[in-house]
Structure 1
Amino acid sequence: MTLTLNSAAAVLSEHNLLREIINGDSWQLDTAHIDGTDTPFTNLTYDTRTVAPNTLLVCKGRFRPEFLDGTEERGLAAYVAESDLSSHTTKPGLIVNDARKALSLLAAAFYDHPERDLTVIGITGTKGKTTTAYFTQSILNTYSAGRCALFSSVDNCLDGHTYAESDLTTPESLDSFRMMRQAVDNGMKYLVMEVSSQAYKVNRVYGLTFDVAAFLNISPDHISPIEHPTLEDYLYCKRQIIANSRTLVLGSECRHIGLLREDAAMHQVPVSEFGMLDDMPRDGADDQTCAWPADGTHRAYRMRLDGNDLGEFSLDLDGDFNYKNALAAIAIAHAAGVPADCEALRALEHTKVPGRMMQYRDERTSTIAIVDYAHNYDSVVKLLDYVSTRYGERNPRITLVAGSAGNKAIDRREGIVKAAQDRISRFVFTAEDTDTEPYEDICRDMADHVTNSHVASDTIIDRTQAIASALHEAQEDKDRTDVVLVIGKGHERWIKDLNRHVPYEGDDCVVERLLQ
């Protein structure tokens, strides 16, 4: 489909978004008597800085009318907005009820609906989205000879093998459809993407139907004035993926699972559930995806899918909780068409996720460092549970290097401290991503939540120096096992400060360099 003013108006009218078209002094409901209505747009953007000849501009968010000044000279052909902006341009305006919804629909049309040429898989949940997405892509890549794309909070992959660091968990709609078009042009047949609650909150995936949707779990997170005001709102936004899917894969131990099942029934979406054996419903359990320990260890699990014994699975990615993510990926891939007896399911055994459970050792001093993206109460609890299971017999001294996001998710700060303070020896609070809130204030807020007088607490704003301090102290006693947990940034090569991405070496690189 070639996007023109005429076809853009038709798309917006079809979805009941178009209020009127403003063309000079004329206000109308169609494009009649407007010059160039069938001339294809060569550029679609929401950023006035990228306006080029024959551009359709979508004015969303905190758009100010004066941003339009000078855009006609650079090629503005028409605009889409929620209000009349004709005082700043003579070009036609498509006035809509919701500019973000309009952007998503127009982006799909502009890039000729690439989603129709892909099996699109959306994964949501509070924990495990990224790992599950990587596992799922690994299976589908093997099954399809390398033709599975990935959109994740860590990396995007548009050709099955080249990964580029991403900025958002779920890209802005225009960027999503542009990347989908690239993926299709690269021969991709599948797309696995993480779907955040914000993606539905701000309509980044409006109009997109997932062939397979996965709802892993839900726990309090992203509660703040600029994200979700309440847990109910957070869950409501995540639930929207169910109404916008053709089949649902659901974690059997998910909180509020009854409500999620009702959503699926209301929208006539078939459901398959997965879970560890003890989590599964007893009735009909043989028809579900199950797993259980094979030999009493934490390194191999036996898995079953639709009554078929898949055998033992052993992951290169450490952490027992990752077996649940692997189980989810198997269920998702099966729902996407991979047979239960396909060898491709085993591809996840050797899948690594950048920044997830990356372990480094200094054998000279018995120091172990783990880099992980853990960033809230639940993920820190699971990380410490892993340390206790894996290294508890050594009675290790544990140090946690952590910051927390600025300007949002304020509850994470107390959650991280609460999860760790009775299980570790030392906190080192440091910089993490922020918009305008000072790092010092975030660290002070976290330190104020420390109530255990037996745990040390230090603040070192420079993140590299904070990691160095933790590792140096760990290496001082060669006869003791020390575990240093560095959480929050993983392999990201930037830290967000004052709304800018400031280059940063990356937690993984810092730890590896210092231990060498």
Structure 2
Amino acid sequence: MSTLSLQTVLQILKEDNLLKEYLVAGKWNFDPQLAPTLNFTQITYNSKKVQQDSLFFCKGLNFKAEYLDQALAQGATCYIAENIYEKANGIGIIVTDIQKAMAKIARVFFGYPDKTLTTIALTGTKGKTSTLYFILNVLREAFPGKVAMTSTEQTFLDGQTFQRSVNSTPEALDLFAMMAQARDHGMNYFIMEVSSQAYKVNRVYGLTFDYGIFLNISPDHISPIEHPTFDDYFYCKRQLLKNSRHLILNHDADYFDLLYQTAHLYTTDVSVYGSQGFAEDLTFTPHVLAKDLKITTAEEKFAKSAGDYTISLPGNFNLNNATAAITVASLLNVPQATIAKGLAETVVPGRMMQYTTPTGGVVIVDYAHNYTSVEQVVKYVQQVYPERKIGLVVGANGIKAFSRRKDFGRIITNYMDYAYLTADNPNTADPMEIIQEIKSYVTKELPIVENPQRKEIIYQAVTETDDQRVLIIAGKGTEDTQKTRRGVEPYDGDGPIVEQAITLMKARDLHE
């Protein structure tokens, strides 16, 4: 069992200039050496999970004093907060930044698990999860039973069990706990997505990754509760460049020159990949139907990775993602044949899931949830089905990423022949108001169906998809919940709903 003393906690905070003061019986103190003897056997920010001798973090914009009261009543002997709670019993530690404090203490409490793992972090506006699964599958092929990961979709820590993830990047305390669990299960590699919010709110504070992969950048997550501007969003993304020992950059990314300049200010260990030739890169050339690629390179360190590869996920954007995986696998000395086998067998939950209706229609379910990611799916459809009309089922979040509403109106205007507008985690907002806002940005005449009941509209859309159409269902992928005013509600997932609709279509045809 892990334990941590009060004096150690205070010393950690003091050394990082996070400690303001600590309170014992109402008296203010600063010197860690004067603190009473006290040991913690648990650290948590969830008042419902507090056990005896816990250190409790008062974290979150919606934190209430009653949460602290509950934690103390259940056995917490000390709390850490940014504000003093005068009426609280126990010892109080007051810090300048609760998120940074939690990250620093969690890392020590769980025994610096990042030091014993080879850590691989990915950031970018699109493609993080797909790239992560490519890397996961390749490394599991090369190092069986030694690879763990956490992604937007799933968490995999013990080499056997996939579990549903809560956040793209976990809270710092949860992240270090996951790393410790992976270490204790004998894992050697830990792959993770790093969102812009992870740096915005210090979820990965104090972590230096062995390999940092910057995939791409485009405007997204602009809202009052995320990033006020694109500049802020991009700046947060770029923090990965400061906090990785080896950097891998996509030469095809927008603002590549800025990324390249920044990377070389923090490390000389930089690799580049992309479809464009570059002095120090690994270059891919797509083949027909964007499922095959050829890797060429002038760099000796990548020489063994040159050759032909095939992936099961279609689209040039997935070739780009696969090449990022080839790059990091090459740096880890994985043989070319092993990389090829891992890539060919990679399937990503909720990404480019393709179905055929009984009437010959094509339905593609993809987690695409912003302009650029939907546009990539559209370009694949245009390449493979150039004569067919394209339709879109889409909705937008109610409390964040407000810019997506305009983006979806633009994508419909620029590419769609028809559209279905529905709900996608409306949260506390009225889904019909979101639908109307998306529609207000559509500037051409086309058929648009509106229905906030996502399952109903998917049924309708699939039924209406014949051999002259391709339907893209964007946003939720395999997500099994819908966030509404009533709370978090169960949801079947877009893929399973499409399968249900197709089954009903076949049953109907049998009875006609």
Count how many residue pairs are aligned between Structure 1 and Structure 2. 497
Once the two structures are superposed, the pairs formed by residues 317-328 of structure 1 within 5 Å of their partners are 317-328=313-324
Task: Look up the match of 1:427.
Answer: 419
Corresponding position: 1:290 with 2:283: yes
Contact 1:100-1:203 at 8 Å conserved across structures: yes
Distance 2:186 2:46 in 1: 29
Once the two structures are superposed, the pairs formed by residues 482-501 of structure 1 within 5 Å of their partners are 482-498=469-485, 500-501=487-488
1:374 pairs with 346, 368, 375, which one?
368
Once the two structures are superposed, the pairs formed by residues 296-335 of structure 1 within 5 Å of their partners are 296-305=288-297, 306=299, 308=303, 310-335=306-331
Give the deviation of 1:473 after TM superposition. Answer: 1.8
Distance 2:324 2:294 in 1: 14
SS of 1:333's equivalent in the other structure is helix
Contact 2:409-2:440 at 8 Å conserved across structures: no
SS of 1:246's equivalent in the other structure is strand
Give the deviation of 1:469 after TM superposition. Answer: 0.9
Once the two structures are superposed, the pairs formed by residues 68-107 of structure 1 within 5 Å of their partners are 68-85=68-85, 87-107=86-106
1:456 pairs with 439, 447, 457, which one?
447
Give the deviation of 1:342 after TM superposition. Answer: 5.4
1:447 pairs with 423, 439, 447, which one?
439
Task: Look up the match of 1:157.
Answer: 156
Contact 1:242-1:269 at 8 Å conserved across structures: no
Give the deviation of 1:345 after TM superposition. Answer: 4.5
Give the deviation of 1:32 after TM superposition. Answer: 4.1
Give the deviation of 1:264 after TM superposition. Answer: 2.2
1:397 pairs with 370, 389, 402, which one?
389
1:507 pairs with 479, 486, 494, which one?
494
Distance 1:499 1:462 in 2: 14
SS of 1:273's equivalent in the other structure is strand
Give 1:382's aligned amino acid. Q
In structure 2, stretches of 5+ residues that fail to align are: 504-512
Give 1:358's aligned amino acid. M
SS of 2:186's equivalent in the other structure is coil
Residue deviations 1:368-412 (CA, integer Å, cap 9, x gap): 1100011111111111111110111xx213221110111111111
SS of 1:301's equivalent in the other structure is strand
Contact 1:69-1:88 at 8 Å conserved across structures: no
Task: Look up the match of 2:463.
Answer: 472
SS of 2:306's equivalent in the other structure is strand
Distance 1:512 1:431 in 2: 20
Distance 2:244 2:486 in 1: 34
Distance 1:396 1:97 in 2: 58
**Structure 2 length-normalised TM:** 0.93
SS of 1:77's equivalent in the other structure is strand
Task: Look up the match of 1:16.
Answer: 17
Distance 2:268 2:92 in 1: 38
Give the deviation of 1:314 after TM superposition. Answer: 1.3
Give the deviation of 1:437 after TM superposition. Answer: 1.2
Distance 1:499 1:267 in 2: 47
Residue deviations 1:304-338 (CA, integer Å, cap 9, x gap): 35352622111111222100000011112223x12
Give 1:473's aligned amino acid. E
Distance 1:83 1:489 in 2: 38
Larger deviation: 304-313 or 181-190? 304-313
Residue deviations 1:222-253 (CA, integer Å, cap 9, x gap): 11111101111001101111111111001112
Distance 2:70 2:186 in 1: 39
- Call closer, same or farther: CA 1:423–1:73 in 2, change over 3 Å: closer
Task: Look up the match of 1:365.
Answer: 359
SS of 2:311's equivalent in the other structure is coil
SS of 1:399's equivalent in the other structure is strand
Give the deviation of 1:435 after TM superposition. Answer: 2.7
Give the deviation of 1:297 after TM superposition. Answer: 4.9
- Call closer, same or farther: CA 1:70–1:387 in 2, change over 3 Å: closer
- Call closer, same or farther: CA 1:131–1:491 in 2, change over 3 Å: same
